[in-house]
Structure 1
Amino acid sequence: MEIIKARLDKILVIKGLVENASKARSLIMAGKVLVNNKKIVKSGTSFLSNVDIKILEKNEGWASRGGIKLAYAIEYFQVDIKDKVCIDLGASTGGFTDVLLSRGAKHIFSVDVGIGQLCWRLAVDNKITIIDKTNVRYIQLSDLHPSINLITCDLSFISLTKALNNLLNTTDREIDIIALVKPQFELQKNQIGKRGIVVDENFRMIAIKKVSLFLKEKKCEVISTVKSPIKGTKGNLEYFIYAKKEAAKN
């Protein structure tokens, strides 16, 4: 076979490792493709077609299925994570944290209300500071050093309008926000169906609008939204919002 230089998703198809480019991109964004034993998460990265490629098994990807979601959102929004100081709210076992680390984050504060959940591989990494047993509502960004310039969040049983309120009030720095909106935690009880599933698309859009308006009230520009590539554990559709807060003017 002639050796050519091409995008990674195209190479996977050429080699017959996947059926089509869409499947290739899904695997790459899920962190399940290694090139020369290095995880590559950008499907547009170019390589020679004779490069060594390994597709990982299901349990060899991100620390949790949340990583699939964030990897997709980062590529969709085209957010550069390299050298950013991040705070990951609702870190749990570390799906989001794992993605941030793989994308070149300078440091990550991994926050969770529970204790000892972060997977061992991440827990021992010196680029990660674990903040356990902590309610995100009471975190003050001004207390964290180095200063935060990216917030990610994957939270349950709390509205983002409550979770992010204090954080955004306690920083005057420019900051990016990639937030996972879970409609069932943003709506009234009468807007939520059986088993906690939000069936009506109109209600899901209300949830997105609620969070968007809140962010605008906090002097953030809402840049884009996108549906998560996979549903929540109970089957709810979820959405990412990408927003940016400008630095305060002196």
Structure 2
Amino acid sequence: MTRQRLDAALVARGLARSRGAATELIRAGAVLVDGLLAHRPAQLVDADTRLELTHRPAGWVGRAAHKLLVAFEVFGAVDPAPWTVAGRHCLDVGACTGGFTQVMLERGAARVVALDVGHDQLAPTLRADPRVEEVSGVSIRGVEATALGGPF
């Protein structure tokens, strides 16, 4: 019987958006494996293992969204002009699951380039959004803005 990591199994079964999100659910104590609380994302599970969530995550795809929302609230209150992303072309460096990307889209960004050195981390909902260009496996070091469709 084929076994796979718990974090990957959660994604494969549609219980988590990404392995990173699955890890967050496990660490938050929200995952049960055959009725027992899971503790390790690397735990191996069989295809017939029962996986359950004790609660569903909030609507944001990553914790980064909460950080950016606070920045918009605090700094935007001081001077809103630089914090207006509506209609703009934006860059999310270190996108991971796409928390910053999601917030910028929610605030009206015309396009967001989501860049990360990792692979397959961007939430599927963002990957499917035509306003998002995913650039995986690339470090920002030495990258010219024009190579990413900039300026931003």
Q: Which runs of 5+ in 1 are unaligned?
A: 1-56, 150-250
Residue 67 of structure 1 corresponds to 65
Q: Is the 8 A contact 1:87 1:148 kept in 2?
A: no
Q: Which of 94, 103, 109 lines up with 2:107 in the alignment?
A: 103
- Distance in 1 between the 2:90 and 2:74 partners? 19
How many residues are paired up?
A: 92
Q: Secondary structure at the residue paired with 1:91? A: coil
Residue 85 of structure 1 corresponds to 89
Structure 1 position 148 matched with structure 2 position 151 = yes
List, as ranges, runs of 4+ consecutive aligned residues in structure 1 with deviation greater than 3 Å: none
Compute the TM-score of the two structures, normalised by the length of structure 2. Answer: 0.57
- CA offset digits 1:59-100 (Å, max 9, x no partner): 132111110000110122211110110010000011111101
Structure 1 position 76 matched with structure 2 position 74 = yes
- Distance in 2 between the 1:65 and 1:109 partners? 19
1:1-250 aligned at under 5 Å gives the runs: 59-78=57-76, 79-145=83-149, 147-149=150-152
Which structure has the larger Rg? Answer: 1
Q: Which runs of 5+ in 2 are unaligned?
A: 1-54, 77-82
- Distance in 1 between the 2:113 and 2:56 partners? 27
Q: Secondary structure at the residue paired with 2:113? A: strand
The residue type equivalent to 2:138 in the other structure is T
The residue type equivalent to 1:132 in the other structure is S
The residue type equivalent to 2:95 in the other structure is A
Structure with greater contact order relative to length (CA < 8 Å, sep ≥ 6): 2
Over the matched positions of the two proteins, sequence identity in percent amounts to 34
- Distance in 2 between the 1:96 and 1:148 partners? 18
Shift of 1:142: 2.2
1:97–1:138 Cα change, 3 Å: same
